């Protein structure tokens, strides 16, 4: 069972505030073998052109960072994912620093492999995903090509 939408949204607001109030000392974590990490995504709004911030769960796949466009398992696509589809170059803040990234969607065998890796962290992943009418995107944040500027 998922918590009510208002609870999920409140938790997101509190999490971003915790990060901001502590100057980034709290709110992020590296992934381990038994839990996903947390990163801060800085993207550019598709309509406003303004910087947008989201804190997301992720794991590492080689030099790539992998996350899910799940929006707390709500029906709508998360705004950060819509922004990345329009402007795939972004920045992530990790425990060990900032990194420029380029977003893309995993497909086919790659998606299945990464989905099963995420299921290692969340045993109810398929149950939660079934609550949505659309497939949940597995988003890969690849290191941006050298010389690429960092948005924001």
3-state helix, strand, coil in the chain (%, to 5): 30, 30, 40
Q: Which residues pair with 42 in a beta bridge?
A: 53, 91
Tokens 């329009």 belong to 86
Q: Write down the pLDDT at residue 110.
A: 98
Bridge-based pairing of strands 51-61 and 97-105 is unpaired
Domain ranges of the chain: 5-143
pLDDT tens per residue across span 25-65: 778 899 999 899 999 999 999 999 999 989 899 999 999 99
> Which CATH code, of 3.30.1490.20, 2.60.40.1170, 3.40.50.300, 2.30.110.10, is assigned to 5-143?
2.30.110.10
Per-residue confidence band for 13, with pLDDT thresholds at 50, 70 and 90: confident
For residue 150, the model assigns a pLDDT of: 55
Average pLDDT over residues 82-92: 96
Whole-prediction pTM value?
0.83
pLDDT at 149 over 70: no
Say how many CA atoms lie within 13 Å of 73 toward its Cβ. Answer: 16
User: What span, in angstroms and rounded, lies between the C-alpha atoms of 136 and 34?
Assistant: 22
């Amino acid at each position: 069972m998922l918590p009510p939408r208002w609870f999920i949204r409140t938790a997101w607001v509190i999490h971003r505030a915790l990060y901001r109030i502590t100057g980034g000392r709290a709110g992020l974590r590296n992934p381990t073998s038994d839990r996903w990490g947390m990163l801060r995504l800085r993207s550019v709004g598709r309509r406003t052109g303004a910087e947008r911030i989201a804190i997301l769960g992720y794991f590492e796949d080689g030099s790539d960072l992998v996350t899910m466009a799940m929006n707390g398992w709500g029906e709508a696509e998360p705004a950060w994912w819509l922004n990345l589809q329009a402007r795939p170059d972004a920045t992530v803040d990790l425990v060990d620093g900032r990194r420029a990234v380029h977003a893309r969607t995993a497909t086919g065998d790659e998606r299945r492999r990464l989905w099963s890796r995420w299921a290692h962290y969340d045993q109810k992943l398929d149950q939660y995903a079934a609550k949505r009418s659309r497939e949940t995107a597995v988003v890969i944040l690849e290191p941006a090509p050298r010389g690429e500027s960092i948005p924001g």
